[in-house]
Amino acid sequence: MKKLFMRQNFSLIWVLLCLSYSAFGQPSELAMPPQRGTFVDPRDQRTYKTVQIGTQVWLAENFAYLPKVDSVTLSVYDYKGNSLQKAKSTASYKTYGALYSWQAANELAPPGWHLPTDADWQQLEKHIGISQQTVNTGGWRGTDNVANRLKPGGDTGFNVVFGGWKTDQGEAKFQGQHANFWCADSYDTGRAIERLLGVNNGKIGRDVGNKGCGFSVRYVRDRPAEEAIYFPAKSWEYLQNAAAYGWDKDKWGQLTDFVRDSTQATGLVVIQSGKILYEYGNTEELSYIASVRKSILAMLYGRYVEKGTIRLTKTLAELGIDDVGGLSIGEKKATVLDLLKSKSGVYHAASNEGGNEFLFPQRGSQAPGSYYVYNNWDFNTAGYVFEKETGLSIYDAFEKDIAQPIGLEDWDKSKQYRSGDTTKSQFKAYHFVFSTRDMARLGYLMLRQGQWQHQSVIPHDWVRQLTTLTTRYEEMKQVDPRLKEWPWWPWGYGLMWRLWDSPQQKPAFNKAFTATGNMGQYITVLPEMDLVIALKTKADYGRRTEYETYLRFLTKLISLKD
């Protein structure tokens, strides 16, 4: 059955929707009339109405995608059975859409959309008039019938319909009276946060429900409305209306205290939808970015893979690649794609050690493509392959293909360099030197799926491939015994980018990815918040910002939107 928090007698209030609680929110006018549109789900070609409220874009009708139907997980209010045709022919489905368990609601978001987080709902609620002091409380919230702005005839265009809900036993309740919507946030192992609206209640409820219950779903778009997205010109602009994106600027001092006292960052930039939300330290200073270089090379590969100049299926043998002491026939079967996955199966010494050599299995023991281990030999060889196949130096190609099109402010090709002991391996490391604010531009290019203004700088499909898991979090734990002692470790691996894959992660990190470098170099992209974070720790100063500290910083940052 549905379980509740914050108020022991909430079930009584659940039945008596007309009861109210004191709150302090005051309604506010929308900045402009609701901007309406449509979205077509490519999986079933169903067209949904959408509405822009503030900077957010929401579905303006209940979700109705049904790959199958059962009594609870994917259900229709007044139908019990497993016939999709019969379920979709019901008046309930046509009027109210489908009901979803919490897990199904998270899994079935169409491309470019996500189940709204509690913070997403709070942003909407603050926009329509619930106060900052009230929005994070439980129970029924809001004054002056604020919920009516989300109902049919309300000025937001959100158009709530009261589809009722199903218990985790499949019992249907309160259609025409209640609307229950899932949030992406898990409350505990069995419950998740939800929103409640009643046909006769002018408040909005914030509560928890059993994850097995069937609730309605309204998805919110991964990125804000187009007019709320910016591309920097010569220099970054500062965001003046942070509250419109749901940020509580009164709490920023807490973040600064943490950055100053707990990290050793020398530069930090947080970008919200193309403008600087927060910065700290010297963001113009050039310095070494360590292994972030690998993620940048991966970006550079894109247009040459698309043109066919680089074939990911080519083997080391086909490329004529050998190394000091020789590679075996089996090792030479590794492909270019295996190098980008760090799964070559070649455990040859690198010209520069990467720190994970103690994890290497015996040479020849793992077939190419079958076993992940973080391997500088793979990454350095990938640099060599790029230059061999394109006929360009990495630095010339980067300047022409990326630095110039996106207008890096501090890029200096003369500062870039290579290093490595060629008695160990002939393939040197290709180092990069960047400013923090230019690292942020690279992250923003990735957030915008390779697009810069109206120009495709990196093919969209390549960005998607870079940020698709090739090694899961659980697989990594089997390779690296340290991860079992590091409960904070959240990452799997894509193609030279780390991807959030922990089952315990907060919703804000869904679809998130990051570049990381030794001593504390990070470019992180959080698509669901339309956010980029670039943090630099200049090694010359003998400073380090470790992974765990950085992850604590990210948690502190996103909490400012809760």
User: pLDDT tens digits, residue range 382-394?
Assistant: 999 999 999 999 9
Residue 83 has pLDDT above 90, yes or no: yes
Lookup result for tokens 């109705």:
64
pLDDT for 249 equals 80
Q: Determine the pLDDT at residue 33.
A: 62
pLDDT for res 311: 98
Contact 476, 372 (CB under 8 A): yes
How is residue 222 written in tokens? 């991964």
Structure confidence at residue 540 (pLDDT): 87
pLDDT of residue 222: 94
Name the DSSP letter for residue 164.
B
The answer to whether residues 336 and 314 touch, using CB atoms and an 8 Å cutoff, is yes
Residue 155 Cα distances to 42, 52, 122, 322, 452, angstroms: 29, 12, 18, 68, 34
Band of pLDDT at residue 562, cut at 50, 70 and 90: low
CA dihedral 272, 275, 281, 286 (to 10 degrees): 110
| For range 409-416, the mean pLDDT | 98
* pLDDT given for residue 20 in this prediction: 30
For residues 24-53, give the mean pLDDT.
76
- Alpha-carbon distance 40 to 117, whole Å? 22
Give the integer Cα–Cα distance in Å for 40 and 48. Answer: 6
> What does the block give as tokens for 8?
């022991």
78 falls in which pLDDT band (50, 70, 90)? confident
pLDDT at residue 71, rounded to an integer = 82
Report the pLDDT averaged over residues 88-117. Answer: 96
The whole-model pTM stands at 0.90
CA-to-CA dists, residue 108 to 128, 149, 281, angstroms: 28, 27, 41
Give yes or no for residue 310 having a pLDDT over 50: yes
∠ CA 414-420-422, nearest 5°, is 125
d(CA 479, CA 360): 9
Question: In the predicted model, what is the mean pLDDT of the chain?
Answer: 92
CA distances from 466 to 193, 314, 500, 512 (A): 32, 18, 13, 12
pLDDT in tens, 186-227: 999 999 999 999 999 999 999 999 999 999 999 999 999 999
- Round to whole Å and give the CA distance between 114 and 130: 23
| pLDDT at 15 (0 to 100) | 31
Q: What is the pLDDT of residue 248?
A: 85
- The beta strand positions in 392-537, using DSSP E, are 417-419, 429-431, 433-434, 451-452, 455-456, 491-493, 498-500, 513-517, 521-526, 531-536
Q: How far is residue 247's CA from residue 451's CA, in Å, rounded to a whole number?
A: 26
Check residue 6 and give its pLDDT.
Answer: 35
pLDDT tens for each residue of 258-304: 999 999 999 999 999 999 999 999 999 999 999 999 999 999 999 99
Q: Which pLDDT score is estimated for 35?
A: 84
pLDDT at residue 441 tops 60: yes
Does position 380 have pLDDT exceeding 60, yes or no? yes
pLDDT at 8 over 80: no
Tell me what percent of the residues of the chain surpass a pLDDT of 70. Answer: 94
Q: How confident is the model at residue 27 (pLDDT cuts 50, 70, 90)?
A: very low
pLDDT, average across residues 433-462: 97
Q: Is the pLDDT of residue 536 over 80?
A: yes
pLDDT value for 7: 33
| Residue 464, pLDDT above cutoff 60 | yes
Residues contacting residue 318 through CB under 8 Å, at least 6 positions apart: none
Query: Alpha-carbon distance 186 to 194, whole Å?
Result: 10
Per-residue pLDDT band at 251 (split at 50, 70, 90)? confident
Q: pLDDT digit string (tens) for 126-175?
A: 999 999 889 999 999 999 999 999 999 999 999 999 999 999 888 999 99
Q: Give the residue extent of every domain in the chain.
A: 10-221, 287-559
DSSP tag of 319: H
Half-sphere exposure of 148 (CA within 13 A, CB side): 9
| pLDDT at residue 503, rounded to an integer | 85
Nearest to 147 by CA among 244, 25, 58: 25
- List the structure tokens of 239: 């965001």
User: What are the backbone dihedrals phi and psi of residue 548, each rounded to the nearest 5 degrees, phi first?
Assistant: -60, -40
CA distance 403 to 411: 7
Query: What pLDDT, on a 0 to 100 scale, did the predictor assign at position 3?
Result: 38
Mean pLDDT (whole number) for 484-501: 96
529-557: buried (b, 16+ CB within 10 Å) or exposed (e) per residue?
A: bbbbbbbbbbbeeeeebebebbbebbebb
What pLDDT is attached to residue 208?
Answer: 97
10 Å CB burial of residue 88 (0-12, 13-18, 19+) is: middle
Residue 393 buriedness (CB in 10 A; 0-12 / 13-18 / 19+): middle
For residue 414, what pLDDT is reported?
A: 98
Q: Give me the CATH topology for the region 287-559.
A: Beta-lactamase (3.40.710)
Phi/psi for 40 (5° steps) reads: -105, 120
Which letter, b or e, does each residue of 300-319 get, where b requires 16 or more Cβ atoms within 10 Å of its Cβ? bbbbbbeeeebeeeebbeeb
Residue type, 453: Q
